[in-house]
Structure 1
């Protein structure tokens, strides 16, 4: 909401690939309907800050997404992305199994998602927890600075006692040893 924006924020633009979703946005926000993996030349050097939350895993071409975001940022601009990472068990299984089966499992494990009937296909392109590999990829695109924070653990097994205990033990072990490829989530900060 504009009354909650910092004083130095002049505008806030919401992007989605689906115009019907954008039509649900508050009227005071600008909207742009486009695919982040498509042509974005008309938006070159348009934004100081770009952020996404649970978007990266749904794009088919993570390299194209990050390349496009780089072009959309003004010099010195920063992008923030929060993504699940592929080699965490629930996301790896989600990636391996057919989408119709993954949808059914999600609705059982997370009933609130079943009520909304929402499950977007997940591709996990460039959604990796490995610090060194992701930093190298992103810097090769032209970002001047890359920082990645990893998080271990997830809530998907909370209602399954045996798996809940397994997840807790695994999470603690991964956190202690900092096995970055097996992190559950990554918070990626990149600067043009």
Structure 2
């Protein structure tokens, strides 16, 4: 039974070095270039509950340096430039995205706009962050390694995204599948997460056949990277510190989401 489940899932899931991952990236990028109803591209976003610890880190940086160089990757229609307020003139704020549809708007928020694959950027930064982008990346391991290389010593990466390592909690990218198929995925996924825990070898699972290609777009139908906190912990070098961050939450459901279904971390590069 488990072999049948495993064989079925390996056709739909894999890792970033699989041929299907590059094909998926091309299809996703084509979707982003043509879509007219994608929320992140249509209205300015504000995420102060996630930006507040980033702002604190910027202030800490400015206590020891004249300026702080910042990169937001997958910026979409970010409002972070406005959020910085009085700090904006003291920082250099770069943004990156894969589509040029928001270029003019992003120029009002930032000092430099990179329309490219984030792995082609070669500048150095004190702080790099993203909010709800990590789950849309098809090469998370390569991106993480590259971002670490872009960081100045003592710099930090902030990542906020959903996480899909809580038992039987599946990415919305699987909602087009029959219930029995989703159940099989949930069983298989527990085995995969246990494998990572026992071996220390991260998965960074990519879903090759997401709902975004089968239904009209809905939130996270394109969440193709099934994010796991354990993957991050297993992959990071031992001298790199990972700190879980928390946001204020009220009510039982909000606390469950914040505690188990949300990835919000600060990754710190050592000074030496």
Normalised to the residue count of structure 2, the TM-score between the two structures is 0.46
Structure 1 residue 104 displacement after superposition? 4.3
* 1:135 maps onto 2:233 in alignment: yes
Match of 1:12 among 84, 93, 96: 93
Contact 1:58/1:120 (8 A) holds in 2: no
Specify every segment of 5 or more residues in structure 1 that has no aligned partner in the other structure, as ranges. Answer: 107-112, 114-118, 154-166, 176-182
Q: Which residue does the alignment assign to 1:122?
A: 223
Q: String of CA shifts for 1:141-173, please: whole Å, max 9, x gaps.
A: xx621112478x9xxxxxxxxxxxxx949939x
Which has the larger share of helix? 2
For residues 36-185 of structure 1, the aligned pairs below 5 Å read: 36=118, 38-40=119-121, 42-43=122-123, 46-88=124-166, 92-97=170-175, 98-100=210-212, 103-104=215-216, 106=218, 121-124=222-225, 127-130=227-230, 133-139=231-237, 144-149=240-245, 168=253, 171=256, 183-185=260-262
Specify every segment of 5 or more residues in structure 2 that has no aligned partner in the other structure, as ranges. Answer: 1-80, 176-209
Residues 105 and 13 of structure 1: CA distance in aligned 2, closer, same or farther (over 3 Å): closer
Matched position secondary structure for 1:122 = coil
Contact 2:173/2:221 (8 A) holds in 1: no
Q: How many residues align?
A: 153
Tell me the distance in 2 between the aligned counterparts of 1:190 and 1:50: 10
Residues 102 and 48 of structure 1: CA distance in aligned 2, closer, same or farther (over 3 Å): farther
Tell me the distance in 2 between the aligned counterparts of 1:134 and 1:17: 24
RMSD: 3.9
Residues 5 and 67 of structure 1: CA distance in aligned 2, closer, same or farther (over 3 Å): farther
Structure 1 residue 84 displacement after superposition? 0.5
Tell me the distance in 1 between the aligned counterparts of 2:135 and 2:244: 16
Tell me the distance in 2 between the aligned counterparts of 1:7 and 1:100: 37
* 1:23 maps onto 2:23 in alignment: no
Residues 170 and 78 of structure 1: CA distance in aligned 2, closer, same or farther (over 3 Å): closer
Tell me the distance in 2 between the aligned counterparts of 1:27 and 1:170: 35
